[in-house]
Amino acid sequence: MLSIKNIHANIAGKEILKGINLDIKAGEVHAIMGPNGSGKSTLASVLAGREEFEVTEGEVEFAGKDLLELSTEDRAREGLFLAFQYPVEIPGVSTTNFIKAAVNEKRKYLGQEPLDAVSFLKKMKEKMALVEIDQSLLSRSINEGFSGGEKKRNEVFQMAMLEPKLAIMDETDSGLDIDALRIVANGINKLRSPERSILLITHYQRLLDYIQPDYVHVLYKGRIVRSGQKELALELEEKGYDFITDEVDLSLGL
């Protein structure tokens, strides 16, 4: 599904990603963990096509296409979804209208007719139940005045509506209390499927109590320094990042 080869990326001339390699197959759930400032969110931004980041080296293949050649919106239409760490407020644009525009832009790209009002509503109802989101939230301006939990739930709802091939969840657990975390995690679990890959970006292990990843990677100083299975996350929880980062610093001669 996603194949990242030796990606280097800069922001404002500073190199943040220093050669990332990662393969995610259809249906797999990968978690990327790492201390603050290791480049986790940068990786998400680069994959989504945020313009401030400059890719200086490397290749990314997504669903058989050269991802870096696609515009931000075409990446989305091809099925790449990013759940934002800080979802953006857009005053005056209702959540329903926003999602409708997104769904129909994607359909247009794929050569499909736009969804009529009835089918769209039906789909909304179905997905609302999935992520336990309230109708009243959807008629409000998108993310405006939403609580932290509502914003994250809304991200998962959009993911459900857009049915992506690859969903990147950027610190979706941050700022959530335990109940909100459970609801959000349940939503994501229900969206797992053999055709869909998920990349979880998180600082803490606790999200992984709810969503069991197939693989766990540790990102440090712009590189993946350790990969393993879900036990790696537990080890990190127990020993902290230091046991890995110290070792890396030592090998780098720092």
Residues in contact with other proteins by CB under 8 A are: 48-52, 54, 68-77, 81-82, 84, 87-94, 97-99, 101-102, 105-106, 109, 141, 158, 162
CA distances from residue 173 to 7, 78, 205 in whole angstroms, order as listed:
26, 26, 10
Report the C-alpha gap between 166 and 62 in whole angstroms: 9
CB of 82 to other proteins, least distance (A): 5
Residue 81 Cβ vs other proteins, minimum distance, rounded to whole Å:
8
Nearer to other proteins (CB atom), residue 4 or residue 224: 4
Backbone phi and psi for residue 55, each to the nearest 5 degrees, phi listed first: -85, 120
**What stretch of H or E contains 19?**
strand 14-24
Q: Are 142 and 93 in contact (CB under 8 A)?
A: yes
- Closer residue to other proteins, CB minimum distance, 69 or 126: 69
Closest distance between other proteins and the C-beta of residue 83, in Å? 10
Which is closer to other proteins, CB of 51 or CB of 231?
Answer: 51
122-131: long-range contacts at Cβ-Cβ below 8 A with a sequence spacing of 24 or more? 123/161, 124/96, 124/99, 124/161, 127/157, 127/160, 127/161, 128/157, 130/160, 130/187, 130/190, 130/191, 131/156, 131/157, 131/160, 131/183, 131/184, 131/187, 131/190
In this complex, which beta carbon is closest to other proteins, that of residue 144 or of residue 209?
144
Please name which of 172, 102, 174, 86 lies closest in space to residue 131, comparing C-alpha atoms: 172
Distance in angstroms (rounded) separating the CA atoms of residues 130 and 120: 15
Least CB distance from residue 99 to other proteins, whole Å?
A: 8
- Minimum CB separation of residue 80 from other proteins in Å reads 8
Q: Which is nearer to other proteins, 17 or 99 (CB)?
A: 99
Reading the block at residue 114, the tokens are 């736009």
* Residues 17, 224 contacting (CB under 8 angstroms): no
Q: How far is the CB of 138 from other proteins (least distance, A)?
A: 15
Nearer to other proteins, 41 or 158 (CB): 158
